Amino acid sequence: MRELFDPETIVVIGASGKEGKVGNLIFRYLSESKAEVYPVNPNEAEISGKKCYRSVKDIDADMDLAVICTPAKVCVENVRECAEKGVRFAIPIAGGFGEVGEEGKKLEGAMRRCAGEMRILGPNTLGVLVPGVIDTMFLERERSPRPKKGRIALISQSGATAATIMNGANLYSIGFSAFVGLGNRVDLNENDFIEYFSDREDTDAIALYLESFADGMKFREIVEKCEKPIIMLKAGRSTAGAKAAASHTGALAGSDRIVSALCDQYSITRVYDEEELIDTSRALAYSEPMRGGRIAVLTTAGGHGVIATDYITSEERGVGLSLSQLTPRTREELKKLALPFASLANPVDLTASATDEMYLKALKALMEDDNTDGVLVSVLFDPPGMTERLIDGIISMKGGKPMVIYTVGAEMSVNAIRRFEEAGIPAYPSIWRGVRALYALYRRGVNE
């Protein structure tokens, strides 16, 4: 896969000098990579000062990757030429294939047949993105800013969905190790990429968006071997039309329940929306799993402690875990902070009189508490004694037991999340999202 994710030579078929054209955008963005990029377009002599070729076959160099920007009908012929040229990977980006009906399916069949040993990603795809290395996405960066480099690989059957997710992730400086848009999967599919990312050093979690499985039996085989956390958003859950129920088993099954069983059985974290997909991927990528379900909560707002307790301990609208019973030693440590109104049982509420120093001492005590498996830390800047210096102090405690931050507020909170993100500590903008992340760490620990 090196030639796909880090090519040395790229040919852009259908490259264009005209602004606004897909072939222009792709050629421009690819030209920023360290790869040698060759434009192909029979109607142009030169693009951005580079010699333009009539056909890929006219280029006197080996090609790692072809990005094909031509429309569906021409595209198949371009794929054939690339295969004959010996190109290693091709990304036909055009739509108008299997997704539009029978005619398109025939084109896909023709494409598959002429590919030979060349591997195809797509068609109908945004291709691949490795921040700082390669970007085949045809979306303008002004409207669709790319994420920075991170530890999460995103594999998506829908390119547009992934683009919006990565765009939104920029708000909190969330990075990705790579993105792959699967498109119509005439050749390469999710199984190939899960296998690839499970060996890739720069990836600590694999986030999947799927609407269907290309090869379910192979999927089982691959996820069973994968040691990295896999987080899956499987859409298309509702079953259209009731099945004729010949048996109770048939009536009760439905393919979505089988997907849930699969996730339980193979330790895949199943999520139900795009926010949870990234929230959970960050938790599992950045933190060790929890070794039990006992959580300590540290806050400066009493109500936050109560809300968090409900989420942590409730089976309904909660995660059904427990609050840790702090050890006598931890309680002694907390007592030394000597705040008159503070609640020193779990949840630990240092009240609005808290200062950075007290807060960090309390956090240290909780991180060292023998009865606690994970800590939920609220970072609220409303109390006058709490400043942004707190962030560095918390970051310095990374590496102990699992710790999840949540913060509620405006700019200071958004900035805090960015800082924690850069330090590789999972941080979220609500109590619930913090608790949910801890639960994902707990489940991962149970399954290991």
- Closer residue to another protein, CB minimum distance, 263 or 301: 263
Which residue lies nearer to another protein by CB, 250 or 400? 250
* Contact yes or no for 248/255 (Cβ under 8 A): no
Contacts with another protein, residue ranges (CB under 8 A): 212-213, 216-217, 219-220, 246-253, 255, 257-258, 260-262, 264-265
Closer residue to another protein (CB): 255 or 415: 255
Which residues neighbour 175 within 8 Å (Cβ) at sequence distance 6 or greater?
131, 147, 148, 149, 150, 151, 152, 169, 421
Nearer to another protein, 43 or 249 (CB): 249
β pairing state of 128-130 and 176-181: antiparallel
CA atoms in the 13 A half-sphere facing the CB of 332: 4
Q: Are 429 and 187 in contact (CB under 8 A)?
A: no
CB of 155 to another protein, least distance (A): 17
Is the Cβ of residue 144 or residue 260 nearer to another protein in the bound state? Answer: 260
Q: Which two tokens stand for residue 390?
A: 């707190």
Q: Please name the residues in contact with 312: beta carbons below 8 A apart, sequence gap of 6 or more.
A: 295, 297, 318, 319, 321, 322, 323, 376, 435, 438
Cβ at position 257, least distance to another protein in Å: 6
Q: CB of residue 225 vs another protein: minimum separation in angstroms?
A: 16
Q: What torsion do the CA atoms of 83, 85, 89, 90 make, to the nearest 10 degrees?
A: -70
How is residue 340 written in tokens? 């008159």
CA distance 206 to 288: 15
Q: With respect to another protein, which residue has the nearer C-beta, 265 or 387? A: 265
- Is the CB of residue 321 less than 8 Å from the CB of residue 439? yes
Closest separation in Å from C-beta 422 to another protein: 38
Whichever of 173 and 260 has its CB closer to another protein, that residue is 260
Residue reference for tokens 């060996």: 199
Q: How far is the CB of 203 from another protein (least distance, A)?
A: 25
Q: Rounded distance, CA 343 to CA 329, Å? A: 16
Least Cβ distance, residue 224 to another protein (angstroms): 11
Nearer to another protein, 250 or 384 (CB): 250
Tell the smallest beta-carbon distance from residue 246 to another protein (Å): 6
What residue has token string 């999840």?
404
